[in-house]
Amino acid sequence: HVSMSALDRIVASLPRWVLVGGILVLGILFLLVFDPPHSVCDSQLSLLKSIQTPFLYLDSKKKYIKTTGFEASYTKCRNGNSLGACQNLFNGVLKLINDVEASNPECIADLGQVKVIKKAFRDTQDLMVELAWGNKPPESTYDKFGWLDNNHMFLFCRLTGMRIKSEGKNTWEKWREKTMLSLPNPGKLTRADIWRRSLFSASCSNY
């Protein structure tokens, strides 16, 4: 082992510019590790968080509020199962989509993968499929929308587009198949029958 006195002599013998350069390099490495530079998408996410408070994020200034606007409106929609009960949820999620799409184009896919945003998109689309289906299969393909109207289908299709963009088409299709097969009381309906009577068979080119 090299003694401390030997190390001192080595350091003392080094040119000043080498010492200064070494200190600068160590300082830069420290900053990169403990305070990494913010990317454009980091800044976009910070902006989105401020815009989406208190709908998607809790307001840090209001500690007494424990539920986000999304969580409250989602619960109200699921329990109420009506146009009025779901209006706040659908309007809020549509605004969330618009806010994400208004971000830097290079960041949209990454923002869609942020855990809380991804969950909001998936939970809402899940719920819309369930609301339209009901407790049993619609009587026919013409009844597959339930009480949902064209505005709601516009939102459903926007969610599809956003999720495919951020999660990938393959992941979305796997979710679609799993969701279809988990709809209640399919009876003897085939996969094709379930498809025709679910929202998934609606053409988004119409909305």
Question: Looking at the structure, do residues 73 and 139 belong to the same domain, yes or no?
Answer: yes
Question: Looking at the structure, do residues 28 and 59 belong to the same domain, yes or no?
Answer: no
pLDDT of the chain, 207 residues: tens digit per residue: 444 465 566 556 766 655 555 555 554 444 445 555 568 899 999 999 999 999 999 998 898 989 999 999 999 999 999 999 999 999 999 999 999 999 999 999 999 999 999 999 999 999 999 999 999 999 999 999 999 999 999 999 999 999 999 999 999 999 999 999 999 999 999 999 999 999 999 999 988
Q: How far apart are CA 95 and CA 183, in angstroms?
A: 28
pLDDT at residue 162 in the model? 97
Distance of CA 91 to the CA centre of its chain: 16
Question: Looking at the structure, do residues 29 and 115 belong to the same domain, yes or no?
Answer: no
Number of domains present in the structure of the chain: 2
Question: Looking at the structure, do residues 21 and 67 belong to the same domain, yes or no?
Answer: no
User: The domain containing residue 21 runs over which residues?
Assistant: 4-34
pTM of the predicted model as reported, rounded to 2 decimal places: 0.80
Cβ atoms 111, 96 nearer than 8 A:
no
Question: Looking at the structure, do residues 166 and 113 belong to the same domain, yes or no?
Answer: yes
User: Computed from CA positions of residues 80, 94, 164, 39, in that sequence, does the dihedral angle turn out positive or negative?
Assistant: negative
Cβ atoms 81, 131 nearer than 8 A:
yes
Q: Is 207 helix (H, G, I), strand (E, B) or coil?
A: coil
